[in-house]
Amino acid sequence: MQTISAADVKARLDAGEALNLVDVREPFENADFNIGGVLVPLGKIQTMQTDDIDELKDQEVIVYCRSGNRSGQACLILETMGFSNVKNLVGGMMGWEATYGR
């Protein structure tokens, strides 16, 4: 599993790059604050319900959660499902908020 920093993601978003972001938090967490990722809670990934993102198997996918733990689990599962370029956002949304706010 590869990792990516909030600084790298923010710089790429600010440059207008279209990123494949996947938020594995729960809906209430996503509603509170998110950076535009597709919501696929970890529970769905654990049960292989990934229809929303299956077309991204051969593309870079950046996965995030609250702190980086759930997204790390999701990355490992997605890799076993054939996703070839999965990256975990280090520090998750907590790290993002600490550096950039909401």
What residues are annotated to the active site?
A: 65
Question: Computed over its alpha carbons, how large is the radius of gyration of the chain?
Answer: 12
Locate 76 and state its tokens. 């490992």
